[in-house]
Structure 1
């Protein structure tokens, strides 16, 4: 048993009226002890549920992120691009109701010249929704056996990288099992949305569900001062996917500029209020292949809605309408399908 960890656990687990928030340094110490197994399983499980009940602060998330950045894997980018690499923070416990668009978006952005990094593992509690790893598999891409050096080579060659955490960050992946045992998402689930496995300045895009989560994300990243530019998206099931059944709520933080709130309505750009459901993995894989083969499906409309925004937001296109046209052109010209084939060949 770790006496030092027990003292930190006592602070967050002392009850509604007597608990105390951890400092950034204390949160970093607690995270390091959990990752290294210096805290016992009983202590780790108790900390996770107590921290969830107390609710994390921005300073605590900043300290936790300090350790993830310090101890986790990092990619660089050795390819040629005039755009800042983008890291998408997508919930590790996946999707269960709506069709995920993250990989299609990554392929479109990469086809437009923007380097993109995704990260995640296998199906994760408590939701056990379809994971990015599984979707990549369904498209013929297997990242799971690659070393960090091999992922780096693929990223340099194609502009797309995927950090498979069970292999490349096993210390963090070792904490996943506690989620099933406590039956709730711990604050580490928020941490994964803002972890950026990139050694350099990247544009981080984080999904969120609840406004307090967005507030903590902004506080944590602002406190760390890196990345300097980041975006929050109240997306489908906490992802970075813009919804079509409601106004998209987006937060933008840029250096030396005030926080910007952007509201986007699908109606203003001719899209229906329909989110494509996730019926089965096999149907999803077929539909993604059909989108890349220039077939007009509902999933194609969702892909355009998302990619059009990101092409505008990340500086490829001058406005939203131009972004939508650019996304459609990339798909229609076969460049997005070619990007997937390029990744498969590189691996």
Structure 2
């Protein structure tokens, strides 16, 4: 048993009156001891559920991210005119609304904006459809690539995917606890703002509960991340909703800091103001989702196309490619209709398949 870990567990698990928050260094130490198996299973399970009840602080999230940076994978810096966008999507996937982020990534890469995504397979607690499965159905299999081959794909296409079961296997044991506990631990919050990229990055993360935005703001400020976008998105993702006004926090690093935090500029976007229907596309079957995505990539009008244009327009503007939201929507429509985004998917598929052949031949 780890006596050091036991002291950290006592701090977070002592209840409302005597419990304490961890320092950034303590949170980093606790995370490393759990990932490396230096804490016992009983200690790890107790810590995860106690910390969920307590709720993490931004400082604790920063410490967890420190541990991930020390132990985890990093795609290396590439030559990019803009900060690389890192899309933080819930690892336990989507179950109610149709995700659009793979299409958004293709659109951005097509327009010259590099994107990094990360995640694993179907995981607890939701066991929703994960990004890697959508990519596979679109013809792109990230799961067989070692990190150095993923780096090659990233450099050639502007899209990279850190597949955690292969690239960060230390996290695999944590998923077992998450399944047994039946609740998302603080790691589930932290992973949304994890940045597995070594260069200048623009972190984009979704959230559900408003207090999470403040935690993200503090953690990212402590980590020195000056450019971030926080979206009250669909099922905690970066996808903008269409059934309500999108509530978005934009980092404003040049604005005066408040209490040492990077300032946030509030943005409210109403779909009706841009002539979009105000309903989300439901997630039915994986096959239907992929068919709808293929229709979008072919430039065919469909309900999911509205979601693609709504999100694509925002992210083209936010990345600096387009001057405003309406220009972004117009640009997205053009790139879908002229086949440029479909061509980017074809390029990505060919590069991944080519790199995969080299991996198999080496084996």
TM-score when scaled to structure 2?
0.94
Q: What is the CA–CA distance in structure 2 between the aligned matches of 1:254 and 1:41, rounded to whole Å?
A: 42
Task: Tell me the equivalent position of 1:316.
Answer: 321
String of CA shifts for 1:199-251, please: whole Å, max 9, x gaps: 011000000000111110101111121x2111100000000000000000000
How many Å separate the matches in 1 of 2:231 and 2:216? 11
Q: Name stretches of at least 5 consecutive residues in structure 2 with no aligned partner.
A: 256-262, 353-363
Q: 2:200 aligns to what SS in structure 1?
A: coil
Report the number of matched residues: 345
C-alpha displacement of 1:187: 0.4
In structure 1, the residue matched to 2:341 is 336
5 Å-filtered alignment, 1:1-347, equals 1-79=1-79, 81-225=80-224, 227-257=225-255, 258-347=263-352
Secondary structure of the 1:175 match is helix
Task: Tell me, in whole angstroms, the C-alpha distance in 1 between the residues paired with 2:94 and 2:21.
Answer: 32
Answer whether contact 1:77 1:155 (CA < 8 A) is retained.
no
Deviation at 1:78, TM superposition (A): 3.2
3-state SS of 2:92 partner: coil
In 2, are the aligned partners of 1:244 and 1:274 still within 8 Å (CA)?
yes
Q: Please, which runs of 5 or more residues in structure 1 have no aligned partner?
A: none
Partner of 1:318, secondary structure, is coil
On the 8 A contact 2:12/2:50 being kept in 1, the answer is yes
Provide TM-score, normalisation by structure 1. Answer: 0.98
Q: Conserved in 1, the CA contact under 8 Å of 2:78 and 2:199?
A: no
Output the CA distance in 2 between the equivalents of 1:78 and 1:28.
28
- Report the CA distance between 1:77 and its aligned residue: 4.0
Residue 69 (structure 1) shift: 1.4
Residues 98 and 236 in structure 1, CA contact (< 8 A), matched pair in contact too: yes
Q: Distance in 1 between matches of 2:299 and 2:222?
A: 44
For the 8 Å contact 1:201–1:228, the answer to whether it is kept is: no
